[in-house]
Structure 1
Amino acid sequence: MDRRNFLIASGASLLSIHPLISSAAKSAPQWSSGPAPIPINIQEIYPTVHKNRLYVAGGIASKFGVPYFSNACYSFDPASNQWREEAKLPKAMHHATLVSNGERLFLFGGFHGGYSHIWRMQDAVYELLADGWTQIDTLPKPLAEGVLSCAPDGTIHWVTGQSPRSEANSARSDHQEITDHYRWLPDSQEWQTLAPIPTPRNSATGAWLGDQLIVTGGRTAKGNLSHTEIYDSKSAQWREAAPLPLPQAGTASVVVDDGLIVFGGEIFIPQAKVFKEVWRYSLSQDRWTSLPDMLTPRHGLGAGRFGKDIYVIGGATGPSGDGTSPINERFTL
């Protein structure tokens, strides 16, 4: 083949694969910073998607650099790119967890108290009704920083987290990590105790994927964990799965197709820092893969998915209480 024909053939080959290259590039997940920020600087939030809106309630807020506990509730409409202020919580609280069963919106546990008892843990279950947030039930015991998720059958599961170790309930040292696993039936307000999770931890993340409840990451007083454990509702047993590639705590996650996407987090030991990493877990392959890093690394953040768009909101850009933010960034699959 002479040089001219070789170049023509080579060019044709390149053109034939170019559409594949373009298609792959277009399908890669991408970050964008266009979504409207939350109307408040907020971290330590556990938001949820309810009736096509992303709700966030309570948390540790900051104004002019001064932290305070919030009783505010906001919801975000991705279609209009606008936030709406909802009914205020009965009291200021942080680390309280929202969950929706599709028709009803609930708020579980968390902490409430003044500066002499910042870590006073709650045992209340609230529901957002027409006249505002109303307590409708009580947890089996005070609970916070666990994984709360609605199962396909509409029941609500609380797994691990922290609870008071004794009667004392005011300081961080009053609490300990637990292996408890509870199921709550919203209609009858009945609590059931299920198989405990093997590894106790706080600040983990997770959710139901079909009949499997995935819990990953988190920490104890000794440091961060990378453990991933999965509860099978059919066998009523837990099993160990592939560990999170990095031991991350204070993360957020959403369910996608065959797995879970985990965002951000923080670590204190051996060095305090905030994570930029994003990981995707495949349940069928029991494997983690990396996705594009966050535009703004954060911990104590929240996330909600609407189709191919995931909105990653709030959190702090530095370890602990440093850099509390109103950031809202979109991750498009």
Structure 2
Amino acid sequence: MNDSWKYRPPLLSPRFGHEVARAGDDIFVIGGTDGTAGHSSVETRKVTGSGAWHHVSPMPAPRHDHAVGVTGGRVYVAGGIVGDGSTDAVDRYDPRLDEWSPAPPLPRPLAAASAAGLGDLLYVAGGSVGDSASDAVHVFDPAEKRWDPVAPMRTPRARFRLLATETHLYAIGGLAGGPQDVLDSVERYSPETDTWEAVAPMHKRRVLPGVALLGDRIVVVGSEPAAEDPVARDRTTEVLDLGTGAWHLLATLLPHGRSSVVCTAGAPHRVLAIGGRANPYGRRITVPGVLSLKVP
């Protein structure tokens, strides 16, 4: 029997183009936009408990379409859109002190990239450079305080998700070029060999889905609309079993299609889908809604 998505306490502000980070038992939702103005605000809640959100110290400046990763217990926000253009700025948040500080900038301005922490390092991959998607990947070593290039992805990607397991990075979906070039492909990076390899593709092509790691499974939720239907958003969830390498499309659907949604692991075996854009009753709106699903 399939579980259903459950409504949890919503964010304090509706947002898309935002990001999520989990540091210990704390979940942080960072930046984004409501479609008219960018957010510098950061909201947090515990993984367990009531699920109520509250604000912590905001970022130094509003930004959206940025990349976020966690390493060494600190949250890094890299690139994104600030004002009317992309930025190379990187800011670092210390949850223990509730303080932001600048970190060394990216090698170039970048938006619509994705980031993940693996070991003691932070990886930033892909993104938009002008009108093109990038395959470049850079790694930041906090101890050395510098960015270095590593092997590029097999496919240029923007508006995708990068996710870390204990040993590898996974690049999931995204755009390889224009709105018609939506990807179902997934590739895996090994830091040990500095190589990318293709793994099984998803059942559906996805742009800006939510992704989360639940034990030995990767959960992927929603997507931006297809080019042929600018309103409809994807309601599906699929799961990659890291042991078998196979994808499974769940029968459970989101209450409404959701894109630019961010996901993280919640209580055991549960994934949280947070914010984004939805299409209830054929209307496109930015939502603060938070949903929880127990993944079978």
Q: Same fold, TM exceeding 0.5?
A: yes
Q: Which residue of 2 aligns with 1:157?
A: 76
- Cα distance in 2 for partners of 1:132, 1:308 equals 28
Asked if the contact 1:205–1:215 (Cα under 8 Å) also holds between the matched residues in 2, the reply is: yes
Q: 1:43-85: per-residue Cα shift (whole Å, max 9, x none)?
A: xxxxxxxxxxxxxxxxxxxxxxxxxxxxxxxxxxxxxx54321
Q: Which residue of 2 aligns with 1:142?
A: 62
Asked if the contact 1:161–1:178 (Cα under 8 Å) also holds between the matched residues in 2, the reply is: yes
- Cα distance in 2 for partners of 1:162, 1:199 equals 13
- The 5 A counterparts of 1:247-266 are 247-266=156-175
What secondary structure sits across from 2:57 in the alignment?
strand
Larger Rg: 1
Aligned AA (1:234): A
Q: Which residue of 1 aligns with 2:28?
A: 106
The Cα of 1:317 is off from its aligned counterpart by 5.3
Aligned AA (1:136): V
Aligned AA (1:154): G
**Moved segments of 4+, more than 3 Å:** 319-323
Among candidates 15, 34, 46, match of residue 93 of structure 1: 15
Q: Which residue of 1 aligns with 2:282?
A: none
Among candidates 32, 35, 45, match of residue 128 of structure 1: 45
Asked if the contact 2:21–2:29 (Cα under 8 Å) also holds between the matched residues in 1, the reply is: yes
Aligned AA (1:217): G
The Cα of 1:122 is off from its aligned counterpart by 0.8
- Cα distance in 2 for partners of 1:240, 1:279 equals 18
- Cα distance in 2 for partners of 1:86, 1:185 equals 26
What secondary structure sits across from 1:98 in the alignment?
strand
Q: Which residue of 2 aligns with 1:44?
A: none
**C-alpha RMSD over aligned residues:** 2.0
- The 5 A counterparts of 1:1-333 are 81-112=3-34, 118-128=35-45, 130=50, 132-151=52-71, 153-164=72-83, 175-269=84-178, 272-316=180-224, 318-319=226-227, 321=230, 323-333=232-242
More helix as a share of residues: 1
State the TM-score, normalized to the length of structure 2: 0.75
What secondary structure sits across from 2:234 in the alignment?
coil
Q: Which residue of 2 aligns with 1:23?
A: none
The Cα of 1:98 is off from its aligned counterpart by 1.7
- Cα distance in 1 for partners of 2:10, 2:96 equals 24
Count of residues in Structure 1 that have an aligned counterpart in Structure 2: 238
Asked if the contact 1:297–1:317 (Cα under 8 Å) also holds between the matched residues in 2, the reply is: no
Aligned AA (2:206): R
For structure 1, the residue ranges without an aligned partner over 5 or more in a row are 1-33, 37-80, 113-117, 165-174
Asked if the contact 2:116–2:122 (Cα under 8 Å) also holds between the matched residues in 1, the reply is: yes
Aligned AA (1:207): A
Aligned AA (2:186): V
Q: 1:250-309: per-residue Cα shift (whole Å, max 9, x none)?
A: 11222124320111102444x732111110011111111001111111101021112221
